[in-house]
Amino acid sequence: MKNLVILLCVISAIVISVFSYKCHSCWSRNSTTCDVSETECLGDRCMTVCQYFKLDGYEFKSMLKGCANETMCGMNGSATAENTKFLFESHCCNGHLCNNQTYQSPEDNLTTNGVKCPLSMCPGTLEECKSEKEVNCTGSMDRCLDYRGTARDPYGKERKYSGKGCTNSVACEYNFASQILTEETHRVLLKC
């Protein structure tokens, strides 16, 4: 009986090591490179997310590596309001430590697409941000965005925001949950 238990333990260890995958893991505050470590994943897919975020005059180019979030694989999101821009790309791959590629910050497609939206940004308030300005949406941003909420920026400061602009379906669908080091703490409105 004791030999059977030992044999089962050895077989289990072999099975776990065969089906246990590792991915590079890291996240950067304001860089397209980061110091990687390794993390164990349940599946065999790894992911790298690159982000460009401009807010209140600050620009952040960030990267996240780790186990794949299958719902985000291959997604490209974008949104813009007055003096604010958010772009992200997610790249997934199969296999042990496969996410070792280097990616640059997402590129902004500046080709107009015929959609026009109200344009405004009112930091410091959760009231509707009104403006007479309009913007010609570009690239895949084919929806108008109306947002009000509170967010914590990469430096830990919590601020209120209200703004209108352009977005695409991916950024709206993920409710900006793909942001790296920027966290929404309270939402009043997100309408696309």
User: What is the predicted pLDDT for the residue at 5?
Assistant: 35
pLDDT the model gives residue 59: 82
Residue-level pLDDT at 178: 57
- Estimate to the nearest angstrom the gap between the alpha carbon of 164 and the chain centroid: 20
pLDDT of 70 over the 80 cut: yes
Q: Write out pLDDT tens, residues 99-125.
A: 988 877 788 889 999 999 999 999 899
- Confidence label for 181 from pLDDT (cuts 50, 70 and 90): low
Residues 6+ apart with CB under 8 A from 130: 120
Task: Return d(Cα 75, Cα 93) in angstroms, integer.
Answer: 13
pLDDT of residue 177: 58
Query: Does 16 score more than 70 pLDDT?
Result: no
| Mean pLDDT along residues 8-31 | 62
- To the question of pTM greater than 0.95 for the whole model, the response is no
pLDDT band at 173 (very low <50, low <70, confident <90, very high): confident
Res. 2: pLDDT tops 50: no
Residues 6+ apart with CB under 8 A from 34: 26, 27, 28, 63, 65
pLDDT tens, residue by residue, 116-153: 999 999 989 999 999 999 999 999 999 999 999 998 87
